[in-house]
Amino acid sequence: MATDTAVDVVMPQMGVSVSEGTITRWLKQEGEQVEADEPLLEISTDKVDTEVPSPASGTLTQILVQEGETVDVGTKVGQIGGAGLGGSGAAEAPAPAAEPEPAPPTEETPEPATAEAAAEADAASPAETPAPTAAEPSAAPPAAPAPAPSGNGKAFVSPVVARIAGEHGIDPSQVPGTGSGGRVTKKDILAFVESGGAQQQPAPAPAQPETAAAPAPAAPAEAPPPKPPAPAPVAAGETLPGETVEPITAMRRGIAEHMRRSLDTSAHVTSAIEVDFSRIVSVREKLKKEYQAAYGVNPTYLAFVAKASVETLRDYPYVNAEMRGDSIVTRSFVNLGIAVELAEGKGLIVPVLRNAEGLNLLGLARGISEIAAKARSKQLVPDDVQGGTFTITNPGGYGTFHGTPVISQPQSAILGTYALVKRPWVITDESGNDAIAIKPMMNITLTYDHRLVDGALAGRFLRDLRERLEHWESEEG
């Protein structure tokens, strides 16, 4: 079955300055049939990574150099035809027949084919390349000089083939190609799809189920990142002077993915309202000492806003809702997400206070403080970041007075609180006289999914929230 003549497969010379190459993959296994010029193995050299075409048609009888091994140019790496199973030395391999021209397999003497390829590869300096000498009278092995493996080999995937492959989750390299150089044509891949070949492929990575998806960067920083998508191949050596490169952390990847997905999902609209915090400031002054002394808890402004929000949500179920498939899901509870910035800008996480509707001001203040501490000390467990129904973010700590946060999916709104500042404010007394007073004012925004929450509804929500804050009723919360 083997062809009578053994033909050596050698590590080709890929340009004069290249002296060795690494075999990255054998495309055929021992015993497999191969056609002349059909890609036989893949190699990697200093200059290029390429496929090596078979020098002859026949059976691949021997693989002498395994994948991952690096050998000098000209080294015999395999053999087509011949006995194959004989000794390890290739020289013995050719049958004892009177074939006059077994290619000398010694490593010092380059194969004619190789030499020719080298001459082609760098004709400018032929002196360095031993030309095929006249002393080689025999017909060269049927091998054509290794054609420069450029162009449309099997590896080239045309745009339409790439698109169809993507649509069906097919690896084009698994599709038998009939185009030039074995290229997979549109017809090939369509036939493959039709024949059900796609099903034999590993299923494409399942899309993350929306409902189960943890909100925002759900992964606790310490837990092993939940299988980040394979990083896109970053071309090495593309850094420009002055640039610094750092890998993307799992958390940053999670944030990036979530932010993008949220903007792609919800119709983000932001409404803002100005709230007079005079009453809250004075209530807080009183409660602060009491809470600190009795419970060691600081009643923050955020806790007041959280309390008022949770109460207001009761009247606005859509602001505490979710669009789930074709349905709108509302709740009798509020799982309140609190956006927490991690130290040194390492990211953002949204731990969740469950059943916030059952907490008074003290409970909210304590809960927020505890969960933020857990987040910063990386002690959150997955449950702590899941199941949020409404989120509050407080970017006002640095003095910003307005923002447009991104909704934590699949929620329908996020409340933003901003810097509390003293501002001149027009007040009207009982007899209708206007005066300018100095008031501690805070801007509060509601960013909502306009698919579900109408602007008027958001406006009424903010109005009622302001009402609660400006006329804070119970000091007990």
Partner 1 sequence: MAELTYLQAISDGLRTEMRRDKRVFLIGEDVGVYGGAFKVSLGFQEEFGAWRVIDAPLAETAIVGGCTGAAIMGMRPVAEMQFADFISCGWDQLVTVAAKQRWRAGTPVPMVVRLPSGGGFSGGPFHSQNPESSFAHIPGLKCVCPATPEDAKGLLISAIEDPNPVLYFEHKHLYRRIKGEVPEERYTTPLGKARVHRGGDDVSVITWGAMVYTADEAAQQLGSDGVSVEIVDLRTVMPWDKAAVLESVRKTSKVLVLHEDTRSGGFGGEIAATIAEEAFEDLDAPVKRLAAPDTPVPFSPPLEKAFIPQVEDVVAGLRELAEY
Q: Are 266 and 409 in contact (CB under 8 A)?
A: yes
Minimum distance from residue 234 beta carbon to partner 1 (Å): 24
Nearest residue (CB) to partner 1, 112 versus 172: 172
Please give the structure tokens belonging to residue 9.
Answer: 């497969």
DSSP string spanning 239-256? PPTT----PPPHHHHHHH
- Of the candidates 238, 299, 331, 271, the residue with the CA atom closest to the CA atom of residue 466: 271
Nearest residue (CB) to partner 1, 165 versus 308: 165
**Marked catalytic residue, from 122, 168, 450, 464:** 450
**189: exposed, middle or buried (Cβ count in 10 Å: 0-12, 13-18, 19+):** buried
> Under the criterion CB under 8 A, does residue 237 sit at the interface with partner 1?
no
Q: Which of residues 391-420 bind partner 1 (CB under 8 A)?
A: none
Minimum distance from residue 161 beta carbon to partner 1 (Å): 6
Alpha-helical (H) ranges within 275-354 are 278-295, 301-313
Please give the structure tokens belonging to residue 42.
Answer: 């893949």
Q: What is the Cα–Cα distance from 330 to 33, expressed in whole angstroms?
A: 65
Question: Measured in Å, how far apart are the chain's first and last C-alpha atoms?
Answer: 91
Q: Which of residues 154-213 bind partner 1 (CB under 8 A)?
A: 158-163, 179-180, 183, 185-186
- β-partners of residue 58 are 34
> Under the criterion CB under 8 A, does residue 224 sit at the interface with partner 1?
no
- Active-site residue flag, 171: no
Full strand arrangement of the beta sheet holding 20-26: 49-53, 39-45, 20-26, 70-72
Q: Are 217 and 255 in contact (CB under 8 A)?
A: yes
Minimum distance from residue 185 beta carbon to partner 1 (Å): 6
Nearest residue (CB) to partner 1, 152 versus 265: 152
Nearest residue (CB) to partner 1, 17 versus 173: 173
- Active-site residue flag, 454: yes
Q: How many residues bind partner 1 (CB under 8 A)?
A: 12
- Of the candidates 365, 347, 364, 344, the residue with the CA atom closest to the CA atom of residue 356: 364
Nearest residue (CB) to partner 1, 160 versus 373: 160
> Under the criterion CB under 8 A, does residue 256 sit at the interface with partner 1?
no
Nearest residue (CB) to partner 1, 28 versus 183: 183
Minimum distance from residue 265 beta carbon to partner 1 (Å): 25
Minimum distance from residue 167 beta carbon to partner 1 (Å): 10
CA distances, 159 to each of 174, 196, 233, 449 (Å): 17, 22, 19, 37
**Marked catalytic residue, from 72, 315, 383, 454:** 454
Nearest residue (CB) to partner 1, 151 versus 399: 151
Q: How far is CA 157 from the centre of its chain?
A: 23
Q: What is the Cα–Cα distance from 164 to 28, expressed in whole angstroms?
A: 26
> Under the criterion CB under 8 A, does residue 152 sit at the interface with partner 1?
yes
Minimum distance from residue 120 beta carbon to partner 1 (Å): 24
Minimum distance from residue 183 beta carbon to partner 1 (Å): 7
**Residues labelled catalytic:** 450, 454
Kindly list the residues in this chain that would bind partner 1 in the complex (CB under 8 A).
152, 158-163, 179-180, 183, 185-186
